[in-house]
Structure 1
Amino acid sequence: MKNNQNVCFVLGSFPPLFTGAGQQALSLAKELKKQGVNVFVITTKAGACQKEEDIEGIKVYRLAVNSSPCNKGLDFAPKIFVALFQKRRQYDIVHIHGACTPFTYAAILAARLFGKKIVVKLTLFGDDDPYSLSQRRCGKIFLRVLSWVNRIIGLSEVFRHSYLKTGLPSKAYSQIPNGVDTQKFSPLESLEQKQKSKKQLGFDLNCKILVFVGAICKRKGVDFLVDVFSRVAQNDQSVSLVLVGPVEDEDYLTEIKQKVHQWGGDKRLVFIGKTDNVEDFLKIADVFVFASLREGFPNALVEAMACGLPVVVSNIQGITEAIVASGQEGFLIPPGDSAAFTVALTKLLSNEKLASQMGGQARRKIEKKFSISSVAERYLLVYNDLLGVKLYE
């Protein structure tokens, strides 16, 4: 198979910034490059990042924008248009990650004017899925611009239903989930290795670890997780909750710490913050917990499952239920049901055999359905189709 595609990824944030969409874009870009696709990225510049740099083998161009969240998208829009014009001979396809910001539509317009193929990946249900976009003040305009897109990618069935409700052409829709690097995110080979890693990371060898990965914010339901943890921890003195990810709201974090302090659990609630080694904490954990209220496709969930962890997660219709079979790889809990969440955690923490069985099933499911290599192959089929490339020559 010949892969001669030149693809420009466009997105608002990219590593080293900690966002699920950015991390997924990097993983996909690396895998596409392995399969012969020339991929480069245009994104925003933040902090000490260079205007041009190489991130794990992927060329990244960063555009300086207003740092205010309200103005960032508006500032990025005209700059992305100019950048796509300047680099128009370097790409055949513009692959845009996210559909709810001004730069999305600037990139679509630019690609259309320059005669390039356009792929838009939807990233957050309830935010940038087509039906949600159609309900906004300029909904008809959004849908009109989306009708110019050659292929829209949804992450699960709920995105497809949303897409079809708007009357956009069904032939322009493809469904491809996010993928995970199953080599990077994999279980440790033995209990001895797990104990050694625990010690290296500063954890007691006998502690049981609940782990959450994601931004520390209200949408991710971290306060709910901490409330559930307080119930479990007061009945099991060996349990700790480890929170891995950047803090989006310092006041929110302070409230969480105060709650834990009230029952004396300060030393058992561990804040890791942003780290480039998320997998290290997943590999030493016993259960992955996730209580997000709204998602597109939770990367942290599939990464945890790839590491062989049983999971206890909120049942977000069409999202988490498309990944986890409750009772097989873990438990799906009705959102906000702290009692059911507590029961599920207690069951897994008190039954090592059950936890091991569910963790093993989780790993096998990820290898079969959500590996980044298989996801990249599906994107290759989309790119080939848009460019009229014969698969075998």
Structure 2
Amino acid sequence: MNSKPRIVIVSETFPPDYSGAGLGAQFLAKNLKKRDILYKIITRTKNRFIDENSSFYIDEIKFYRIVYFQQLLNRFTNNRYLKLLILFLDFPFVFIKTTFFFFRNKNQVDLFFFVSTKWISLILSFWCVLFRKKYIIETTLLGHDDPIVNTTKKYIWFKKTIKNFQFKNAYAVTNISMLLTNQCYKFGLSSEKVYTIPRSVNVAKFHPQKGKVKTGLKKGLLENSNSYPIILFTGVLIARKGIDIVYNTFKEILNDYPDAVLIFAGPQGAPGQEMHLNEIIRDIKTEGIEKHVVFSGSVTNIEDYFNIADVFFFPSREEGFGRVFIEAMACDLPVVTKEIEGITDYIFGNNENGIVVKSDNITDFVCAIKNVLEDSNLRKSLIVNAQLKVNNEFSEEEVLNKYFKLFETVLKTS
């Protein structure tokens, strides 16, 4: 880009809140800031990292925070009627604050970039259309922010109206996987308007450790550094991520590998999402396998966990992309996952870079994990192919080039 435009990133979540979309927004924000083209970030995340040594810290970026009352309520109740009441009380506040931002800053902003589609982006897209300001939408999760509305959801007529308005008036729609790109085509968007830009991995942070370094990490993170195999899961501990599959598969693995350890690295879900987690915790106590299952909570050094594990097991039922896949691959950690059409085939091909199980059968997952552990040739092949895939398609440089080409194209559009 020849001149320096001013870009606003709108992301409902942002680190330190745990979210794949938020991490994507943070990555883009850091790099826009380096080029001095980031104007502000609009988010509903209340807190921010002030530790300059944290990977989440971004120096001198201006945040505009719109905190929902409903967001605060989510921490204390799962009563949907109470949430609906708060939502109606919430909207005027969000509308006023978002509108105030737009009119105060519209002359300084060249482009709005909406990470996902929620209330804030809806209000801004309305004003953008009215005042001919350009905006781009990035979709991140099937059934949540893609243009196709699930017909089983409530208030479908209202949601369809919103989707039609936002997506048809966007100057471009970028998607983090082919699955989401295909949704845009089904919706009727032209190919000139639709882009696919995947998530990236920071290979300076996510890279394999060997020898004494790896041994030291094991001693620091595990009570028994001689445990084998170490099965790792990372993500929010909710049903959508497949934690029930992870746990039930591990119990079978434990029968053949009595020193095995399962690590759940990630935070608990919001109220109402604890069903499988509570069942797992109760069963761990009943089975007396507490020393074999580790709950690390949310961690900022997940790369260390990738480097001590023997298999990354992530049988998620629904993803927009799955950044953790490529982070594990960059650390030479073989991946076993569940098929998600348009995502796992995009990342793993025909099982060249990881093992994709095309069923929900626990026995199939057990066999896949044991094959990775016991077949050294298969393991080496997966690691080599995964590194090639990461370097060629998911490096930060490659992904950033796609973003900047997109911005350049949209800004030139009349």
Q: Calculate the TM-score normalised by the size of structure 1.
A: 0.90
Please give the alpha-carbon distance, in whole angstroms, between the structure 1 residues aligned to 2:15 and 2:162: 31
Count of paired positions = 384
Please give the alpha-carbon distance, in whole angstroms, between the structure 1 residues aligned to 2:57 and 2:132: 28
Counterpart pick for 1:319 among 343, 361, 374 = 343
Counterpart pick for 2:404 among 363, 380, 390 = 380
Confirm or deny: 8 A CA contact 1:241 1:270 kept in the other structure.
yes
For 1:122, the equivalent position in structure 2 comes to 139
Unaligned runs of 5+ in 1: none
Counterpart pick for 2:215 among 176, 190, 195 = 195
Counterpart pick for 1:361 among 354, 360, 385 = 385
Instruction: Extract structure 1 runs of 4+ deviating beyond 6 A.
Output: none
> 1:131 aligned to 2:148?
yes
Deviation at 1:271, TM superposition (A): 0.6
For 2:53, the equivalent position in structure 1 comes to none
Confirm or deny: 8 A CA contact 1:6 1:37 kept in the other structure.
yes
Confirm or deny: 8 A CA contact 2:317 2:340 kept in the other structure.
yes
Deviation at 1:5, TM superposition (A): 2.5
Deviation at 1:321, TM superposition (A): 1.6
Please give the alpha-carbon distance, in whole angstroms, between the structure 2 residues aligned to 1:276 and 1:153: 28
Confirm or deny: 8 A CA contact 2:177 2:198 kept in the other structure.
yes
For 2:126, the equivalent position in structure 1 comes to 109
- Name the one with the larger strand percent: 1
> 1:222 aligned to 2:243?
yes
For 2:97, the equivalent position in structure 1 comes to 79
- Farther off after superposition, 199-208 or 65-74: 65-74
- SS of 1:340's partner is helix
- Farther off after superposition, 359-368 or 125-134: 125-134
Please give the alpha-carbon distance, in whole angstroms, between the structure 2 residues aligned to 1:298 and 1:269: 23
Identity over aligned residues, as a percent?
29
> 1:61 aligned to 2:67?
no
Deviation at 1:36, TM superposition (A): 4.9
Confirm or deny: 8 A CA contact 1:39 1:59 kept in the other structure.
yes
Q: Deviations over 1:257-304 (max 9, x none)?
A: 122233322111111111222212112111111111111111111111
Q: Deviations over 1:43-64 (max 9, x none)?
A: 01436889xxx93234332223
Counterpart pick for 2:109 among 91, 106, 131 = 91
Deviation at 1:133, TM superposition (A): 6.2
For 1:181, the equivalent position in structure 2 comes to 202
- SS of 2:24's partner is helix
For 2:297, the equivalent position in structure 1 comes to 273
- Alignment-mate amino acid for residue 349 of structure 1: L
- Farther off after superposition, 11-20 or 124-133: 124-133
Please give the alpha-carbon distance, in whole angstroms, between the structure 1 residues aligned to 2:292 and 2:404: 45
Q: 1:353 to 1:59 in 2, by over 3 A?
A: farther
Please give the alpha-carbon distance, in whole angstroms, between the structure 1 residues aligned to 2:302 and 2:63: 22
Unaligned runs of 5+ in 2: 51-55, 75-82
Counterparts of 1:240-259 in structure 2, within 5 Å, are 240-248=261-269, 249-259=273-283
Confirm or deny: 8 A CA contact 2:136 2:173 kept in the other structure.
yes
Please give the alpha-carbon distance, in whole angstroms, between the structure 1 residues aligned to 2:346 and 2:95: 34
- Farther off after superposition, 191-200 or 157-166: 157-166
Counterpart pick for 1:295 among 300, 310, 319 = 319
Please give the alpha-carbon distance, in whole angstroms, between the structure 1 residues aligned to 2:384 and 2:279: 36
Please give the alpha-carbon distance, in whole angstroms, between the structure 1 residues aligned to 2:262 and 2:133: 48
> 1:23 aligned to 2:41?
no
- SS of 1:243's partner is strand
- SS of 2:62's partner is strand
Confirm or deny: 8 A CA contact 2:17 2:45 kept in the other structure.
no
Q: Calculate the TM-score normalised by the size of structure 2.
A: 0.86
Q: 1:134 to 1:251 in 2, by over 3 A?
A: closer
By relative contact order (CA 8 Å, sep 6+), the higher-ranking structure is 1
For 1:160, the equivalent position in structure 2 comes to 181
For 1:38, the equivalent position in structure 2 comes to 38
Deviation at 1:77, TM superposition (A): 4.6
- Alignment-mate amino acid for residue 62 of structure 1: R
Confirm or deny: 8 A CA contact 1:13 1:43 kept in the other structure.
yes
